[in-house]
Amino acid sequence: MSQVRHLVNLKDWTAQEILQVVDAGIAVKTNPQAYATALAGKSAGLLFQKTSTRTRCSSEVGIYQLGGQGVFLDWRSTNFGLADLADEMRVMATYFDFLLVRLLEHDDVCTTAAAVDIPVMNGCCNRYHPLQALCDLQTVKEKLGRLEGVRLTYTGVHNNVTNSLIIA
């Protein structure tokens, strides 16, 4: 299996890599026309076991705006629960260029990433929400012009977003 870059959590990402992603997000947001074909000919499988409005809409629209195609798969209307998850994900990897998974268990996100040779993004699980943390960091940098030296205070329950922000 080839070495691909996954976004399962941010633990194995360097500060420089996180900043590169944040800066790329700002660049795309600032000049969307320049990236309108960045995903031309690419497809993403969006497998959601956990429901979501914002993650689903932002992902589908974002992929479309970058010239790609997102295919939404609702866990409840598929046969994923009937077969071995790793086997099912290997099949998905033959159809898609990358996967965005929003699964109940972190272990299932890890199983997915280990099984496929395409990038996997964790769109939320019981332990982490790295996609949300990256978006939050992008907002901070847009508002303050920097991330260096910024201190965040998180108010709310200690959850998957909190875990991802602590790591970031």
State mean pLDDT over 50-61.
94
pLDDT of residue 161: 93
The backbone region for 124, taken as left when phi is positive above 0, alpha when psi lies in -120 to 50, beta otherwise, is: left
Confidence of residue 79 (pLDDT cuts 50, 70, 90): confident
State mean pLDDT over 45-74.
96
pLDDT at 105 over 90: yes
Q: Report residue 164 as tokens.
A: 């991802």
pLDDT at 1 over 60: no
- Taking the mean position of all CA atoms in its chain, how far away is CA 101? 7
Strand, coil or helix: 7: strand
